[in-house]
Amino acid sequence: MTSIVGKIATDYDQERLARAVQRAAMANRTPIGDAKTEASQVIGRLERWLRDKTEITSHELRLQTATLLSDYDADAADYYLTENMLF
Amino acid sequence: MEISNEIMQIWLPLVVAGLAQASFSLGVSMLTLLSGHLLAAPESTRRLHRLSLAYIVGSLLTITTLLLALMYLLDWFSMTSGEQFWAILTGASVGVGLCVILFYYRRDKKGTRLWLPRPMAEYLYMRIKNTRRAFEAFVLGIGAIVAELIFIAAPLIIAANLLLELTGWAQIIAVKLYLLIAISPLIILFISNFRGRKISKFQSWRERQKRFLQIAAGALLIILGFYLLTYKSLGG
C-alpha cells in the first residue's frame, strides 16, 4: 500500500483519484463515457508506476497523474494540474 | 470644462482605474472553479449558465453599491475637489500598486498562488465545490469583491471621486462604463462558457499570464497615481 505524505498523511485512494481525473475531463466538456474511460486508463498506468513506491507526496501524485492524463487529453491534464492553484 | 480636458482629467483615469480593478484575479478564479465543478456534474450546462449569471450579478451589484455609496459619502463630506484629498488618493494608489507587485501572488514549491491566507483559500475551495443553488453563487460573487476590497478600494475611491466631477447623463454613462470594464473578465468567461469553449483554454492562458496580470494591475495603479498627482493635486 502506498502512503501519501504531506500535512495530512493518507493511504492512496484509487477511486477518489479516478473521480478527480474524471471530473477534470468532464470540466473540459469530455462526454461522461469518454471521461470514465480516460480515468480508468490513467489509473491503470498510475498503479503500475506506484508499484515500487511506498511513500509519495500528494504533489508528486498530482504531477504524475497529469502527465499520464496528458497522453489522452492534454487540456484536461492542464486543468487538473492548475485547478488547485486558482487561488 | 473643455471636452479634451474632460477626457484627460476624468474619462482616461476612470478607464485606467476600471482596468486596474479588472486585472485582479480572485473573482475570475472563483468563477473558473465554479464553472469547472458545475461542468463536471452530470446535469450541468443549464445550471452552469444560471449560477454563473447569479455570480456575476452578485459581483456587479456589490461594485455598484460600493461605488455609489462612495460617491454619496465623498459628496456628503465635500471632498471631491480638495487637492489634499487627491494627494492622499494618489499616494494610496501608488502604495496599493506597489503592494500588488510585491504581494499579490506568492510562490511556493507547488506553484504561484494568490495572496489569500491558506485557511481562507481552502474554505473558498470547499464552499465553491458545494455550490448548487443560484443564491449561493450570488453570495460568492459578493464575497469575491469583499475579499479583494483591500486592493480594489483605491481604484474604487478614485473612480467615485472622478465620477462626481461629471453631471447628468455623462455621469450615468461613466458609471456604467466603469462597471462594464471592472466586470469584463467575468463577462468574457461567461460568454466563453456559453459558447461551449473549453475552460482549460481560458485557465491555461491565465496561468501563463499570471505574472503579467500582476505587474499590469500594479503598474496601472502606480501610473494612475502619478497621473492624478500631476493633473489633480498639482493642478497640471
In a domain, B3, yes or no: no
Write the pLDDT tens digit of every residue in B15-73. Answer: 999 999 998 888 888 999 899 888 887 667 788 899 999 999 999 999 999 999 999 99
Looking at residue B209, what is its pLDDT?
87
Nearest to A85 among B40, B111, B196 (CB): B111
Task: Note whether B121 contacts A: Cβ–Cβ < 8 A.
Answer: yes
Bigger pLDDT: B81 or B4?
Answer: B4
ipTM value: 0.80
Looking at residue B2, what is its pLDDT?
75
Average pLDDT over every residue of B168-182: 96
Strand partners, B108: B111
Does A82 sit within 8 Å of B203, measured CB to CB?
yes
Percent pLDDT > 90 in chain B is 53
For an interface test with A, give the residue of B32, B47, B114, B200 to mutate (most A CBs within 10 A): B200
Looking at residue B113, what is its pLDDT?
83
Percent pLDDT > 70 in chain B is 96
Task: Note whether B113 contacts A: Cβ–Cβ < 8 A.
Answer: yes
Percent pLDDT > 70 in chain A is 91
Per-residue pLDDT at B146 exceeds 80 = yes
Count of CA atoms in the C-beta half-sphere (13 A) of A86: 26
Looking at residue B122, what is its pLDDT?
87
Using 50, 70 and 90 to split pLDDT, how confident is the model at B236?
Answer: low
Closest CA to B9 of B165, B182, B173, B175: B165
Using 50, 70 and 90 to split pLDDT, how confident is the model at B1?
Answer: low
Average pLDDT over every residue of B78-94: 84
- How many angstroms away from the CA of B19 is the closest CA of chain A? 20
End-to-end, the C-alpha distance of chain A in Å comes to 32
Does A85 sit within 8 Å of B40, measured CB to CB?
no
Number of structural domains (chain A) is 1
Using 50, 70 and 90 to split pLDDT, how confident is the model at B115?
Answer: confident
Using 50, 70 and 90 to split pLDDT, how confident is the model at B158?
Answer: very high
Per-residue pLDDT at A9 exceeds 70 = no
In a domain, B222, yes or no: yes
- How many angstroms away from the CA of A19 is the closest CA of chain B? 10
Nearest to A78 among B113, B114, B200 (CB): B200
Contact map slice: A 29-58 vs B, CB within 8 A? 29, 32
Phi/psi region, residue B193 (left: phi>0; alpha: psi -120 to 50; beta: rest), is: alpha
Task: Note whether A23 contacts B: Cβ–Cβ < 8 A.
Answer: yes
Chain B CB contacts of A59 under 8 Å are: 109-110
Looking at residue A40, what is its pLDDT?
94
Number of structural domains (chain B) is 1
Task: Note whether A66 contacts B: Cβ–Cβ < 8 A.
Answer: no
- Mean pLDDT computed over every residue of chain A: 86
How is residue B170 written as a grid cell? 455623462
Closest CA to B91 of B208, B196, B213, B225: B225
The answer to whether the CB of B144 falls within 8 A of the CB of B26 is: yes
How distant, in Å, are the alpha carbons of A22, B11, B100, B227 from that of B222? 44, 17, 10, 9
Per-residue pLDDT at A68 exceeds 90 = yes
In a domain, B129, yes or no: yes
Per-residue pLDDT at A1 exceeds 70 = no
Residue of B nearest to A58 (CA): B110
C-alpha to C-alpha distance for B99 and B93, rounded to whole angstroms: 10
How is residue A44 written as a grid cell? 491503470
Average pLDDT over every residue of B2-22: 88
Write the pLDDT tens digit of every residue in B122-131. Answer: 888 899 988 9
Average pLDDT over every residue of B78-96: 85
How is residue A81 written as a grid cell? 494540474
Helices (H), B12-44: 12-22, 26-40
How is residue A61 written as a grid cell? 501524485
Q: Which residues of B93-124 are buried (b: 16+ CB within 10 A; e: fewer)?
A: bbebbebbbeebbeeeeeeebbbbeeeebeeb
Bigger pLDDT: B232 or B32?
Answer: B32
Average pLDDT over every residue of A9-36: 88
Does B112 sit within 8 Å of A87, measured CB to CB?
no
Instruction: Write out the residue range of the structural domain in which residue A17 sits.
Output: 3-85
Q: How many C-beta neighbours within 10 Å does residue B156 have?
A: 23
C-alpha to C-alpha distance for B202 and B125, rounded to whole angstroms: 19
B66 contacts: CB under 8 Å, gap ≥ 6: B145, B156
B11 contacts: CB under 8 Å, gap ≥ 6: B174
Strand partners, A57: A5
Count of CA atoms in the C-beta half-sphere (13 A) of A37: 8
For the ranges A69-78, B80-89, B206-215, B223-232, the lowest mean pLDDT is seen at B80-89
Looking at residue A84, what is its pLDDT?
79
Nearest to A26 among B25, B39, B110 (CB): B39
In a domain, B1, yes or no: no
| HEC profile of A72-83 | CCHHHHHHHHHH
Does B114 sit within 8 Å of A87, measured CB to CB?
yes
Instruction: Write out the residue range of the structural domain in which residue B92 sits.
Output: 10-233
Task: Note whether B109 contacts A: Cβ–Cβ < 8 A.
Answer: yes
The answer to whether the CB of B51 falls within 8 A of the CB of B194 is: no
How distant, in Å, are the alpha carbons of A48, B29, B49, B220 from that of A24? 22, 16, 19, 35
**Burial (Cβ within 10 Å: 0-12, 13-18, ≥19) of residue B36:** buried
C-alpha to C-alpha distance for B82 and B88, rounded to whole angstroms: 10
In a domain, B158, yes or no: yes
